[in-house]
Amino acid sequence: MEKDKLIEEYAEHARKNSFQLNTNTKIVEGIIGGLLKNEERYGKKYCPCRRISGNQEEDSKKICPCIYHKDEIKKDGHCFCGLFIK
């Protein structure tokens, strides 16, 4: 299943970067579902917590894992959408 594969990819990304996937599976599954819907709609796995502007250069920063997630985890203990946590 694509959802399970994606969850494992993001869990591996988290491990490699010394943080983790959210331990709440409902949150993770909801976010993954949003990513897959955005991929179906826009052709990219845009973070469901980010607004898509239509400007490809600007929106490329919002493809999960977005460029903001590491700073957000460092500052707040989690990324904005809650997929990754400290």
Dmax (CA) of the chain:
33
Q: Which CATH number fits domain 24-85: 3.30.70.980, 3.40.50.2300, 3.30.1300.10, 3.90.460.10?
A: 3.90.460.10
- pLDDT tens for each residue of 57-85: 999 999 999 999 999 999 999 999 999 99
Q: How far is CA 33 from CA 18, 24, 41, in A?
A: 24, 14, 12
Provide the whole-model pTM: 0.92
Q: Which of 73, 47, 49 is nearest to 61 (CA)?
A: 47
